[in-house]
Amino acid sequence: MNIGEGAFIDPYDEGGMAATLQTQQDHVRFRALAYKELRQGLASRMSVAQQRIMDFVQSIRTARPASSLGQKCGMDKPDNLAVDLHGKVLTCQNVSAAATAPNGQPHQIGHLSNLQAVKMRSATHWSHRPDCPSCPVLQLCKGSCMFLQGPLWDAGCDAAYSDNVPFLAAAIEYLTGCIPYFIEGDFRGDRKDIFGQVQGVPEQRARRVIPILADDRTVAA
């Protein structure tokens, strides 16, 4: 059975927060499991797997600049509208007219009968987030959800990083034959150790979490 899409649910509310990764150990376990399943072909029926791996490969091949990236949902484009069956224009296809964004603004931003008055009041483009421009998975994540703020954004951003870094690792292995385990660069230090092998996770736990790396070639990226 082919599965069209797979990713973490953006934590729009308390329910979304409860469904996302909670601790650094949770993130490490997920990254290791996701990468293991990619390497073993267990995710081959999920079209998003090959799509994201090859998207990162293409970003390197074409030297795609970050400035060309829009938000992952495409709702930052002025000619994209999300509309419900009552003609109400919404900030996003995943919310309802009755919902409110984290900044207190309603998700209903107008009506089809008066498009001139439609105005977005609750979005932050990735280029205005402090951590996004230097993030190694930006080419895959594309800014996560532009409507989240505060703790909801922090949780969503963390989940988006752990969701996408296995694809980055798989793309690098595809290109070089080596497995990256540590990423140097000007970004958050708690994200550099991809699988918890180098720092932040006890050695015993790391051995249990990522046995797939024991006999493989590794490389620091």
Residue 196 has what pLDDT? 85
The stretch 12-32 carries a mean pLDDT of 85
- Pick 70 or 85 by higher pLDDT: 85
Beta-bridge partner residues of 74:
none
Q: For 71-84, write each residue's pLDDT tens digit.
A: 888 888 888 889 99
Tell me the whole-structure pTM to 2 decimals: 0.79
Domain ranges of the chain: 21-73+124-220, 82-117
Q: Is the pLDDT of residue 136 over 70?
A: yes
Residue 199 has what pLDDT? 64
Contact 174, 49 (CB under 8 A): no
Enclosing H/E stretch for 80? none
Other CB atoms within 10 A of residue 50 CB: 14
Residue 138 has what pLDDT? 92
Residue 210 has what pLDDT? 39
CA–CA dist 198, 210 (Å, integer): 12
